[in-house]
Amino acid sequence: MKTTAQKIMDYASFHETFSLDSLYESLVKGKNLSRKALSWHLCRLVEAGKLCRVGRGVFSKNVKQTFSPEPDAKSINIYRFLKKRFPLLNFCVYNGEIVKLLQHHLAEMNNTYVEVERDATEVVFHYLQENYKGVFLTPEQDMMSKYVGLDRRNVVVKALVSESPLIERGGVMMPMLEKLLVDLNCDADFFMYQGIEWEHIMDNAFSLYNVNTSVLLRYAGRRNRKETVEQYLKNKSL
């Protein structure tokens, strides 16, 4: 006789995505297994990497990778340097090379991005200027094109949006995939990734990696891009 976990995986094999409610209705209703117990089995399968959460209460069989790039040496050094000086501030630090994992057209992207709470951007910017070369504060498209570039290993300081989805990798707080996808769509210094290129990046992300649409839409709402992301998701499902 099959275990509950095996029955869940069988169900997942025939459903691209499914909810706890639909699973309960199909497998459990009328049997001696509570909704709470079924939820426990789902959590265990997620922890084991056999299922993934693709939305709030929505699951899918895990056949994709998890987007989890490691920080490079410069990102680690800058993060530690800043946390030592400003231990109470929240930072997100990463190298633009991680965007290559999503790109349709590969291009050099060697800048290090430092995001910090909005009220502290100028203080952090000036502190980094004293210790690093090529530090820029929230550059607009024209400045990016003329002075910053993508292959010069500069440091770009930007405001960290509150409640940004972050993940710790190698002791450094970095953006989750969902945050990166939204930022690429709306930040002026990422102008080269917008328009059609952004749609290709989204296609690659959904094809290769687990994307949590609930996290994606929640953060997109904070960046005033919810309608844009919803339209992409709608077109993707057609």
From 34, 61, 88, give the residue that closes a domain. 61
Q: Do 171 and 112 belong together in one domain? A: yes
More confident of the two residues 89 and 56 = 89
Same domain? For 151 and 100 the reply is yes
Sign of CA dihedral 218, 67, 120, 141: negative
**Domain identity same for 79 and 127:** yes
Q: How many domains does the chain have?
A: 2
Distances (CA, A) of 88 to 83, 91, 147: 8, 10, 32
Q: Are residues 193 and 86 in the same domain?
A: yes
Residue 5 CA to residue 22 CA, distance in Å, equals 16
For residue 130, count CB atoms less than 10 angstroms from its CB and return exposed for 0-12, middle for 13-18, buried for 19 or more.
exposed
| 59: Cα separation from own chain's centroid | 18
Regarding whether 127 and 229 lie in a shared domain, the answer is yes
Q: φ and ψ at 160, to 5 degrees?
A: -90, 115
Q: Which of 145, 152, 205 is nearest to 179 (CA)?
A: 205
Domain edge (last residue) among 61, 84, 108: 61
Rounded to two decimals, what is the model's pTM? 0.77
Q: Does 109 lie in the same domain as 21?
A: no
Mean predicted lDDT score pLDDT of the chain: 88
- Same-domain status, 206 and 119: yes
Structural domain includes residue 68: no
Q: Are the C-beta atoms of 229 and 183 separated by less than 8 Å?
A: no
67 occurs within a structural domain: no
Q: Provide the 8-state DSSP code for 71.
A: P
- CATH at 18: 1.10.10.10
Structural domain including 193 reads 73-237
Residue 66 belongs to some domain of the structure: no
Which is higher by pLDDT, 192 or 216? 216
Written as six digits, the tokens of 172 are: 């450094």
Q: Does residue 116 sit in the same domain as residue 25?
A: no
- My answer on whether 51 and 83 are in the same domain is no
Residue scoring higher pLDDT (208 or 71) = 71
d(CA 164, CA 14): 34
Length of the chain: 238
195 and 92 together in one domain: yes
Q: What percent of the chain shows pLDDT beyond 90?
A: 47
Same domain, yes or no, for 120 and 49? no
Out of 54-68, 83-97, 150-164, give the one with best mean pLDDT. 83-97
Pick from 12, 152, 148, 132: which is nearest to 78 by CA?
132
Beta-strand pair 18-19/58-61: antiparallel
Please report which confidence band the pLDDT of residue 29 belongs to, taking 50, 70 and 90 as the band edges.
low
Q: What are the pLDDT digits (tens) for 124-183?
A: 999 999 999 889 998 876 666 555 555 568 899 999 999 999 999 999 999 999 999 999
Residue 15 lies in a domain: yes
Mean pLDDT lowest for which of 83-87, 122-126, 155-159, 185-189?
Answer: 185-189
CA 125 – CA 91 distance, rounded (Å): 13
Assigned domain for 83 exists = yes
78 and 187 both lie in a single domain: yes
